[in-house]
Structure 1
């Protein structure tokens, strides 16, 4: 009896140790703001089906990717809870999110396809009130989008500032997963 208990205990410890291995590597989807890493739980793609015109006269669509941290529950177009949001506005020549690298321009009147038009981070965002503890606006950066099947991989980096301040903060992130698509009205 003692031997079976010891074997069962060793098996349980082995299972726990094996499952803890991935945790040491950190979350697979995250963002880091000034060295503080936070997990991203889901992503939403708000797409536009009405084209505009870029500065050079090309057809352009503006698409918003919002990456959501744990704590915020998204159900269709409604959400609840409190957490963080990373919002990235990207320009595209099609109604689809363009694969490739998007460089920051910060102004939609200057945007061309595959530009990173603007972005922000809402820390401590309360879905019920629409308010955040802190809001950061991108001042520079790049967003790289890849896709395999239904899985998007989105990597971003840049500098952000708190609204109405000048001190720059570094941000980077990685998201790998599906994006819930919602038509922008």
Structure 2
């Protein structure tokens, strides 16, 4: 099951890298992920717009990572990742507010999917080969923004009582469609 859920995350990350070398533009002023007694620094943040959901809300995905990664490599090593599938009322905008997890229909200020990995490595098929990871099954993400600088805090849970908390403050690098 983890393999199937890693595939969308890895696809997003491959798209981000193939769209150019934007990694230097997304350095955080402060970011941290805590999961299962381990802590990682989050230094890169990306935003990708998937358009309208058909009900007036818009699909905007956020990916926070601990380092720049060459996702075209056969293996991805020692990276921490927080992937959040959020929904807003404005296209290509991460709005300030609280996003609450729901496994139901996409709507404004709803998180419908997510993934957390700490000190993880993945093989070319997206299988976790090292580290700890879980698929989000609950939690909240709180966003504030001032002059283009985002403050994102999160408390996320998994199906097996996993819990991750953290925050990120910095800019978001857009992932452009090619």
Q: TM-score, normalised by structure 2?
A: 0.70
Question: What residue in structure 1 maps to residue 140 of structure 2?
Answer: 142
Structure 2 CA distance for aligned equivalents of residues 41 and 129 of structure 1: 25
Matched residue SS, 1:168: coil
1:33 is matched with 35
Residue in structure 2 matched with residue 172 of structure 1 by the alignment? 165
Looking at structure 1, the residues matched to 155 and 177 of structure 2 have their Cα atoms a distance apart, in angstroms, of: 25
1:113, CA displacement in angstroms? Answer: 0.6
1:43 is the counterpart of 2:45: yes
Q: Which runs of 5+ in 2 are unaligned?
A: 1-28
State the shift of 1:138 in Å: 1.0
Per-residue CA shift, 1:27-77, capped at 9, x if unaligned?
A: 9311111232111111010112x3122xxxx3121111000013x436xxx
Superposition RMSD on alpha carbons, in Å? 2.3
Contact 1:86–1:122 under 8 Å retained in 2: yes
Structure 1 or 2: more strand by fraction: 1
Change (3 A) 1:148 1:142: same
Query: Structure 1-normalised TM-score?
Result: 0.68
Moved over 3 A (4+): 78-81, 125-131
- Report what 1:67 is aligned to: 64
Deviation at 1:184, TM superposition (A): 5.7
Q: Distance in 2 between matches of 1:92 and 1:125?
A: 31
RCO greater where, 1 or 2, for CA within 8 Å and sep 6 or more? 2
Counterpart secondary structure, 1:112: coil
Unaligned 5+ runs, structure 1 = 1-26, 162-166
Total equivalences in the alignment: 143
Q: Larger Rg: 1 or 2? A: 1
Residue 99 of structure 2, aligned match among 98, 102, 117: 102
1:24 alignment partner in structure 2: none
**In structure 2, C-alpha distance between the alignment counterparts of 1:86 and 1:184, rounded to whole Å:** 21
